Amino acid sequence: MSAREIDDLLLHIRGLVLVREILRQRGATPAELEAHTAELERLKDRLAELAVPATVGG
């Protein structure tokens, strides 16, 4: 685990949140929005895997 990987995940998550909102405003289909949401959940799970051991282990 590296701080770089965590930073990259955070950046990717922020980008997906912004893009999902733009898609929503432009009338994206529920399937398109769900695809972004699913990817966000996957990345948040990965971030939790990386971040929790870092805080517990010192």
First to last CA, the chain: 13
Reported as a pLDDT band with limits 50, 70 and 90, residue 50 is confident
Return the higher-pLDDT residue of 52 and 42.
42
Q: What is the residue-averaged pLDDT of the chain?
A: 89
Position 58 scores a pLDDT of 52
Residues 6+ apart with CB under 8 A from 34: none
- Residue spans per domain, the chain: 3-56
